């Protein structure tokens, strides 16, 4: 007779995740029980309180994790070590910032989401929903679920939990991508592509996990790592399994050659969601990649080095080169996101402690600049002949002369672009310096050389936007019809926080660098 | 490096212009009239402060870094805020603080009556001044790199936001060239740190000097640094961004760009490349000397054929920078001294030329084509006289300070790189051509109708150019104060490179730093 022993649940260690997911479930209840006119307010307060609360919980846990190095919960299925906790902090902090942009209704009184996601684009029902002023407040719980999944993802110590977290974070994102208020067909197409390719990637991941189970007889990362040490030569189960697992993860990271979804999804998704995805999904996926690379792969680093190097170099080059020819600002930022994935990978494959801390810092710096940049994009709109404000002015030519009309907004955008380009005294430079130093110390100097060449080329397209905004006259061009809508205050707050953080992490990065350095130790 | 206690001179010099820039940007619209006085006042205050600091400088120990400050900044990367100047650094700081008030004064009537735009421009000038002072006094490789790159941003806006017809193109070309060089240098900076002692002060120049590097590593890192400096300087064949930038930037921007910023390139070669990578420097010197000589001749030849006066001055600078680099990589204490002094003189002389060209252009509706001018001598005699004197300084006329430095570079280089020095001498002759032909075309001959009622140099304009000429005259006849500053640093640089100093001898007597003074007076009969 088998007895069932209930697992002991370490509530405190799980608090950050539980708060976010709990608030998500509460949010579903809010949809059912709170009258419509109050829903947005309640959802917004709930979501902001949950993310802020989770951030506090992370901060409270830090002391213990720093002292003990972390703990293994549920028999090693959930590992709360330094990198996992810091990543949870980064993800939930960035989610808080992204929520501010998501919630903003601007001076037009409408948010970035379709009034009714189920309405067929262009149908009478859609018109009706718009006239009635319906608001899609389900967005908030969806964002919270995705955030919860992202927080579990890098803390997962076995492949099964990792897969569950992957799905929990992916499914809400597929939905959110399809909910844009304007250009709905483009948005739905993006969601469809994301879903199909994401499903493929998930299948790869799952099949890889199955093969690894076949190889090691366990789904625990630590056991797989132990098993790799006894391998001689090429073990087909191990390498096929690892390859498939990495495909699944690199898809989420947005690394070449698994990047094809990025530009379409970034362009089609509602802009605030794009910012959220760019910042948080990347942090979560890179976090998992870090864990796999540093916990499972050390014994196999010589075998896998050529593969990861190739992926990193391709990602930097393809992202940069294609971004140069883009004419749509969201697509440009999407390709720049790919290039940044490549820069991050140089830190990941450094295989040293500096690599971990540098990557963590880079994720934070990149995430802040991304949310800020997409927040700015969400405010720059085009108008029709009647002067009516329409959707976002995403074509680059429409940004001409923005610096003259909205110097502050254009100035903030310039700062984010400079940070993405890695100009000194911005957070982006500190991050780039951190990963490149790690890579040189880890004898990956060729990657750094490709990295600096790609950075120089990347500077071109960032600078081009600055030139457009400040030095190009809008008179007589399509840009005359571009207007900037006023934020309700939330996006403005998010942009201000992002500006302050970008400068602070560029000028005085020491406290954060110390923090990530102290945290940069995985426990198996 | 020992951080000396006492007044933080350099930090004060860096912070003051930043405060000035912030004040300009924060100025309410109602008091915009104060823009010009505030900018001039701040820049003069910086000048006074720098002069007071220079008086405190111990010339007897000019080879050591003084006014040092050291604070750990980013311990995780081994980065410190470390500043300090030796004689050369002090000279470059002085050059920056002298040129900034001049530029502010020259920009008095620029941007029309649009005080809002002028405010941005002057604020950028002050911000740039802070960066310039900081970069010349940085004693931490990371800090130097940071400023080297961050400086691009104000200059980029100064060209792109306020320049001429092709300003966007010029600004982007400038930025991309510089960024490309800078990012390659970044790889070098990282590699240097990783191979250095590391730790908390791992980026301090003092802890990196003397670090033994493997031969290939040292050469690669040297090349990474040198590439960035050669783009900045600019040297043939990496100079093509400069004529475009100078042609399209406002005159004041060109003064700071060519007069001061480009010196960061040669300054970096002198104070970073040579001490940090002595073996690689010796290894690369022959090739660099050849490139320097090509720069001298090529820049001068192209200058002769230019139609646009700003481009012309830019090409003359390519030629002058060739001399400076030649002097640095000839590795004799006289040539290095000469190059250090040359950096200072070139700032005065070329700065003056750019400003005068800007004044000429303003008298002809902004035209910079030399063929649009003629006979200005009769209409604007004072302007013509100023142009002639400053022009003669650019061709190194004895009695003006550029002569001394050019002479020292040639004499110093001759002992070690005789063929190069001989070929470079052709550059001196070509200099006479490009200056005098330009003077002839623009100032002599019949007066052009549209220039008939051009106004002569105003008092403000005389005050802009006057100090520069006065300084060149004083240092032309009595260069000892400046040479005292550069002699010891040059000696210690030569020691660090590890070559036997080659002392040129004239009639059996060793030429020392003060000898060119006599040479100057002898040369007067030339």
Is A41 part of the contact surface with chain B (CB cutoff 8 Å)? no
Q: Which residue, among B189, B210, B205, has the nearest Cα to B89 in the 3D structure?
A: B205
- Cβ contact, residue pair B161, A455, below 8 Å: no
CA distances from B409 to A476, B324, B472, B499, B505 (A): 55, 7, 17, 17, 14
Give A 299-358 residues with CB within 8 A of chain B: 357
- Cβ contact, residue pair A440, B149, below 8 Å: no
ipTM of the complex: 0.80
- Give A-chain residues touching B163 at CB under 8 angstroms: none
**Which residues form the domain of B397?**
284-526
- Cβ contact, residue pair A471, B160, below 8 Å: yes
Is B65 part of the contact surface with chain A (CB cutoff 8 Å)? no
- Cβ contact, residue pair A509, B145, below 8 Å: no
* CB proximity list for B212: less than 8 A, separation 6 or greater: none
Is residue A465 classed exposed, middle or buried when 0-12, 13-18 and 19+ CB atoms within 10 A define those classes?
buried
Q: Which is it for the CA torsion B226, B230, B231, B236, positive or negative?
A: negative
- Give A-chain residues touching B180 at CB under 8 angstroms: 456
Judged against a pLDDT cut of 70, whether residue B510 lies above it is answered with no
B55 domain residue, yes or no: no
- Give B-chain residues touching A472 at CB under 8 angstroms: 168
**Six token digits for residue B364:** 């002809």
Residue of B81, B145, B172, B186 to mutate, interface with A, max A Cβ within 10 Å:
B186
Is A28 part of the contact surface with chain B (CB cutoff 8 Å)? no
Chain mean position to CA A11? 27
Give A 395-434 residues with CB within 8 A of chain B: 418, 421, 423-425, 429-430, 433-434
How far apart are alpha carbons A65 and A60 in whole angstroms? 10
Judged against a pLDDT cut of 80, whether residue B113 lies above it is answered with no
- Cβ contact, residue pair A463, B175, below 8 Å: yes
B139 domain residue, yes or no: no
How far apart are alpha carbons A328 and A392 in whole angstroms? 11
- Cβ contact, residue pair B74, A510, below 8 Å: yes
B300 domain residue, yes or no: yes
Q: Please write down the HEC assignment for all residues of B295-350.
A: HHHHHHHHHHCCCEHHHHHHHHHHHHHHHHHHHHHCCCHHHHHHHHHHHHHHHHHH
In chain A, where are the structural domains located?
11-519
Say if residues A149 and A16 touch (Cβ distance below 8 Å): no
Residue of A354, A357, A424, A462 to mutate, interface with B, max B Cβ within 10 Å:
A424
Q: What is the mean pLDDT of chain B?
A: 84
For chains A and B, count residue pairs whose Cβ atoms are closer than 8 Å. 85
Is B432 part of the contact surface with chain A (CB cutoff 8 Å)? no
Is B259 part of the contact surface with chain A (CB cutoff 8 Å)? no
A399-425 b/e (C-beta count within 10 Å ≥ 16 → b): bbbbbeebeebbebbbbbbbbbbbbbb
- Cβ contact, residue pair A470, B190, below 8 Å: no
Q: Which residue, among A51, A261, A44, A254, has the nearest Cα to A151 in the 3D structure?
A: A51
B321 domain residue, yes or no: yes
**By three-state DSSP, how is residue B46 classified?**
helix
pLDDT at B1: 45
pLDDT at A261: 92
**Six token digits for residue B228:** 């960035």
Residue of A425, A430, A437, A502 to mutate, interface with B, max B Cβ within 10 Å:
A437
Q: What is the mean pLDDT of residues B193-206?
A: 81
Is B220 part of the contact surface with chain A (CB cutoff 8 Å)? no
pLDDT at B505: 56
Is A503 part of the contact surface with chain B (CB cutoff 8 Å)? no
pLDDT at B512: 46
Is residue A9 classed exposed, middle or buried when 0-12, 13-18 and 19+ CB atoms within 10 A define those classes?
exposed
List, in sequence order, the alpha helices (H) in A69-121.
82-103
Tens-level pLDDT at each residue, chain A (524 residues): 577 777 777 888 899 999 999 999 999 999 989 988 889 999 999 999 999 999 999 999 999 888 888 888 888 889 999 999 999 999 999 999 999 999 988 888 788 888 887 888 888 888 888 888 788 889 999 999 999 999 999 999 999 999 999 999 999 999 999 998 888 889 999 999 999 999 999 999 999 999 999 998 899 999 998 888 877 667 888 889 999 999 999 999 999 889 989 999 999 999 999 999 999 999 999 999 999 999 888 888 888 889 999 999 999 999 999 999 999 999 999 999 999 999 999 999 888 888 999 999 999 999 999 999 999 999 998 888 877 888 888 888 888 888 888 889 999 999 999 999 988 889 999 999 999 999 988 888 889 989 988 998 888 889 888 888 887 777 777 777 888 888 888 999 999 999 999 999 998 998 999 999 998 888 87
Q: Which residue, among B349, B400, B337, has the nearest Cα to B91 in the 3D structure?
A: B337
Q: Global pTM?
A: 0.88
Residue of A414, A423, A432, A444 to mutate, interface with B, max B Cβ within 10 Å:
A423
Instruction: Name the residue with tokens 């500190």.
Output: A430
């Amino acid at each position: 007779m088998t007895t069932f022993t209930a697992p002991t649940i370490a509530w405190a260690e799980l608090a950050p995740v539980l708060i976010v997911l709990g608030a998500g479930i509460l949010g579903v209840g809010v949809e059912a029980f709170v009258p419509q006119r109050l829903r947005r307010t309640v959802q917004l307060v709930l979501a902001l309180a949950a993310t802020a609360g989770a951030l506090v919980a992370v901060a409270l846990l830090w002391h213990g994790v720093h002292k003990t190095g972390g703990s293994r919960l549920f028999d090693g299925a959930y590992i709360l070590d330094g990198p996992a906790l810091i990543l949870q902090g980064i993800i939930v902090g960035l989610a808080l910032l992204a929520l501010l942009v998501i919630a903003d209704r601007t001076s037009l009184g409408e948010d970035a989401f379709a009034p009714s996601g189920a309405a067929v684009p262009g149908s009478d029902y859609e018109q009706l929903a718009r006239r009635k002023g319906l608001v899609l407040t389900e967005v908030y719980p969806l964002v919270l679920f995705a955030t919860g999944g992202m927080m579990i993802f890098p803390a997962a110590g076995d492949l099964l939990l990792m897969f569950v977290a992957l799905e929990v974070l992916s499914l809400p994102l597929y939905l959110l991508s399809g909910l844009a208020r304007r250009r709905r067909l483009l948005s739905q197409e993006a969601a469809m592509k994301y879903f199909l390719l994401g499903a493929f990637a998930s299948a790869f991941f799952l099949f890889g996990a199955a093969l690894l189970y076949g190889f090691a007889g366990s789904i625990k990362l630590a056991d797989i790592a132990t098993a790799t040490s006894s391998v001689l030569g090429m073990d087909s189960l191990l390498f096929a399994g690892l390859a498939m697992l990495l495909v699944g993860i690199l898809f989420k990271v947005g690394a070449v050659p698994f990047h094809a979804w990025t530009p379409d999804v970034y362009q089609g998704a509602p802009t605030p969601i794009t910012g959220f995805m760019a910042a948080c999904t990347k942090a979560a996926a890179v976090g998992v990649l870090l864990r796999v690379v540093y916990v499972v792969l050390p014994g196999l680093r010589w075998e896998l080095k050529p593969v990861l190097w190739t992926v990193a170099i391709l990602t930097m080059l393809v992202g940069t080169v294609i971004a140069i020819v883009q004419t749509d600002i969201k697509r440009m930022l999407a390709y720049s996101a790919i290039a940044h994935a490549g820069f991050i990978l140089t830190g990941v494959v450094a295989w040293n402690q500096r690599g971990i801390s540098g990557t963590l810092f880079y994720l934070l710096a990149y995430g802040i600049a991304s949310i800020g940049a997409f927040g700015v994009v969400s405010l720059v709109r085009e108008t029709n002949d009647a002067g009516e404000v329409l959707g976002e002015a995403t074509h680059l030519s429409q940004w001409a002369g923005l610096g003259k009309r909205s110097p502050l907004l254009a100035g903030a955008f310039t700062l984010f672009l400079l940070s993405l380009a890695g100009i000194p005294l911005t957070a982006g430079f500190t991050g780039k310096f951190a990963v490149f130093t790690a890579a040189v110390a880890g004898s990956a100097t060729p990657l750094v050389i490709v990295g600096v060449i790609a950075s120089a080329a990347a500077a071109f397209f960032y600078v081009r936007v600055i030139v457009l905004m400040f030095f190009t006259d809008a008179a007589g061009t399509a840009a005359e019809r571009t207007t900037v809508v006023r934020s309700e205050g939330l996006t403005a707050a998010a942009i201000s926080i992002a500006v302050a953080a970008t400068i602070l992490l560029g000028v005085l990065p020491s406290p954060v660098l110390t923090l990530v350095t102290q945290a940069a130790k995985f426990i198996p | 490096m020992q951080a000396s206690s006492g007044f933080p001179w350099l930090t004060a010099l860096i912070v003051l212009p930043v405060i000035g820039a912030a004040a300009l940007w924060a100025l309410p619209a109602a008091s915009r009239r104060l823009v010009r006085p505030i900018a001039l006042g701040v820049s003069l205050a910086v000048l006074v402060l720098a002069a007071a600091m220079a008086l405190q400088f111990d010339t007897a120990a000019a080879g050591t870094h003084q006014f040092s400050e050291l604070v750990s900044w980013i311990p995780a990367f081994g980065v410190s805020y470390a500043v300090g100047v030796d004689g050369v650094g002090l000279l470059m700081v002085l050059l920056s603080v002298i040129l900034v008030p001049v530029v502010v004064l020259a920009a008095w009537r620029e941007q029309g009556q649009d005080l809002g735009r002028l405010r941005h421009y002057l604020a950028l000038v002050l911000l740039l001044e802070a960066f310039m002072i900081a970069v010349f006094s940085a004693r931490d490789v990371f800090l130097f790199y940071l400023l080297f790159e961050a400086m691009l941003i104000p200059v980029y806006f100064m060209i792109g936001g306020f320049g001429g017809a092709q300003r966007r193109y010029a600004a982007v070309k400038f930025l991309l060239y510089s960024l490309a060089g800078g990012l390659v240098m970044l790889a070098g900076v990282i590699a240097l740190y990783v191979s250095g002692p590391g730790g908390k002060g791992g980026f301090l120049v003092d802890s990196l000097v003397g670090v033994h590097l493997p031969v290939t590593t040292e050469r690669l890192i040297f090349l990474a640094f040198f590439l960035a400096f050669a783009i900045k300087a600019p040297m043939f064949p990496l100079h093509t961004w400069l004529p475009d930038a100078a042609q399209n930037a406002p005159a004041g921007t060109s003064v700071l760009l060519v007069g001061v910023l480009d010196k960061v390139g040669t300054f970096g070669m002198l104070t970073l490349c040579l001490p940090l990578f002595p073996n690689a420097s010796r290894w690369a010197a022959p090739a660099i000397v050849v490139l320097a000589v090509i720069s001298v001749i090529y820049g001068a030849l192209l200058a002769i054929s230019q139609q646009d006066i700003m481009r012309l001055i830019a090409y003359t600078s390519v030629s002058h920078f060739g001399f400076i680099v030649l002097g640095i990589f000839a590795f004799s204490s006289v040539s290095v001294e000469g190059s250090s002094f040359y950096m200072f003189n070139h700032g005065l002389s070329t700065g003056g030329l750019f400003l005068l060209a800007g004044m000429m252009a303003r008298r002809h509706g902004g035209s910079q084509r030399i063929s649009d001018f003629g006979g200005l001598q009769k209409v604007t005699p004072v302007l013509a006289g100023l142009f002639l004197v400053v022009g003669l300084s650019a061709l190194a006329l004895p009695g003006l300070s550029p002569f001394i430095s050019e002479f020292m570079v040639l004499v110093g280089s001759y002992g070690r790189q005789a063929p190069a020095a001989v070929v470079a001498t052709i550059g001196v002759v070509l200099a006479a051509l490009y200056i005098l032909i330009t003077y002839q075309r623009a100032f002599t001959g019949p007066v052009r109708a549209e220039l008939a009622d051009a106004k002569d140099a105003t008092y403000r304009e005389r005050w802009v150019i006057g100090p520069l000429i006065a300084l060149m005259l004083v240092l032309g006849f009595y260069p000892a104060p400046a040479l005292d500053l550069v002699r010891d640093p040059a000696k210690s640089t030569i020691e660090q490179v590890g070559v036997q100093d080659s002392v040129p001898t004239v009639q059996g007597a060793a030429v020392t730093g003060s000898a060119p003074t006599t040479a100057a007076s002898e040369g007067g009969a030339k």
